[in-house]
Structure 1
């Protein structure tokens, strides 16, 4: 796990080491060079794959020409991201202890062509470890969770973490969010690894999130603009 605790989003990236190669799930903001940390943890070839194409998850992709992405977000990697650079830079600098001398005006949103386009239920074999891709839209159209069945490890990206879940952007889909929670909540997960904030997440929170989204749907509140809803150790902004 490689974390960025000096930024308010507290993004976590996860390096999975196999016998043949390593898989880096998310690459952070890109302000600092994540590859320098990765080199301390593996001497194998590294493939990067992002849970989704947001700036705080693909910032270090520039160090990894071998990266995978979901088809639904390819446009975001070639100039089609729906936010301006000024907006993105504002979020990068917000509540962040930037390195001394760093100029946020130089910050860029990573662009590039993946070496592989992945889909739901594809498997990434890194040698002795098989990682299944689960297409879980809601937070973003091409969002993916990663399931390592043998170990019971579930990497949930921005679909599920403690604190405020974001489902209010125009590019989010609250109805799809519920379907994705339905999908992952039935997995026999032993450990859940979120992309942000507290790492103290037990699998039961996925069931609570699913049930809360079900209730919002029943009350006809599962749509943009319905408000912010708090559930103790997590919340959702619709």
Structure 2
């Protein structure tokens, strides 16, 4: 274990995750001690028959230990795409679903590290002269934790999801939207009854990433053209705060204008 980390203040495992009740049987779970680049939201939705968890965080701290109530009704974990900050906790779930285009990468093991330079290299991220964080976590999850032991376990999927698939939780139905660009198998899920979109990394209120090795700018443009016209009431994204349809349209149109001007 690196000596410069030993003196860091650890946090109790239960406190690694922050939970916010969004109302209507929806809980947002986040990891406040994680660097912004990989600090993702995941969403626990409860139906009458079962629950679903949209994405699963970094997996630095075991969800079953920190939030055992999450597993009481054997929820499905629905992965919006195969990046470490969204799938790290997924191997803990018995029922895992994602788009087929992400299945091979998930089975092989997601490139992962808590060391900034190593992670940037594994993901093919160009820092463009910006400082690279030494560590992607700002506190130790438990005394004596060694960031060098972190990895995302390979996993198989129990269900393959494609555009238009519906997931019935009992009193709550989700529709899968295949929206490639960030990754080939990026999906969002829409609860049409409430107009709630769980967007993963397809869109959030920040700089959208379309320059990873398996990103596709042309596909991303088509996905955001679709989202710009989508009738929703609220977007619960993979990063940052939630926003309404007006902001969704603004974000999509800003991206599309930038790509038109940039010629990509």
- The TM-score normalised by the length of structure 2 is 0.76
Gaps of 5+ in 2: 1-27, 122-132
Which of the numbers 196, 209, 212 marks the counterpart of 2:239?
A: 196
Confirm or deny: 8 A CA contact 1:136 1:177 kept in the other structure: yes
Residue 92 (structure 2) aligns with? 63
Q: 1:171 to 1:80 in 2, by over 3 A?
A: farther
Preserved contact between residue 137 and residue 180 of structure 1 (Cα < 8 Å): yes
CA 1:144/1:28 → structure 2, altered by over 3 Å: closer, same or farther? same
> Are 1:138 and 1:180, in contact at CA under 8 Å, matched by a contact in 2?
yes
Count of residue pairs the alignment pairs up: 220
Q: If each structure's helix is expressed as a fraction of its own residues, which one has the higher value?
A: 2
Taking a change above 3 Å as real, the CA distance of residues 80 and 38 of structure 1, as seen in their structure-2 partners, is: closer
Contact 1:55 1:88 in 2 (8 A): no
Shift, 1:217, TM fit: 3.9
Aligned residues: CA RMSD: 2.3
Query: What TM-score results when the alignment is normalised by the length of structure 1?
Result: 0.84
Q: Which moved more, 1:50-59 or 1:98-107?
A: 98-107
In structure 2, the residue matched to 1:13 is: 42
Q: Looking at CA atoms only, which structure, 1 or 2, has the larger radius of gyration?
A: 2
Check 1:76–1:52 CA distance in 2 against 1; reply closer, same or farther (3 A cut): same
Alignment of 1:76-155 (within 5 A): 76-79=105-108, 83=111, 87-88=118-119, 93-99=135-141, 100-155=143-198
Match for 1:24 among 41, 53, 73? 53
Cα distance, 1:80–1:141 mapped onto 2, change above 3 Å: farther
Secondary structure in 1 matching 2:236:
strand
Contact 1:59 1:109 in 2 (8 A): yes
> Which residue number in structure 2 is paired with residue 168 of structure 1?
211
The structure with the greater share of residues assigned to strand is 1
Q: Give the Cα–Cα distance (whole angstroms) in 2 for the partners of residues 41 and 68 of structure 1.
A: 17
The alpha-carbon deviation at position 36 of structure 1 amounts to 4.1
* Residue-by-residue CA offset, 1:47-84 (whole Å, 9 max, x unaligned): 10111111111111121021001111111012275x57
1:180 and 1:26 map into 2 onto residues whose CA distance is 20
Q: Report if the CA contact (8 A) 2:74-2:94 is conserved.
A: no
Q: Is the 8 A contact 1:27 1:50 kept in 2?
A: yes
- Rounded to whole Å, the distance in 2 between the matches of 1:89 and 1:106 is 17
How far has the Cα of 1:40 moved from its partner?
3.0
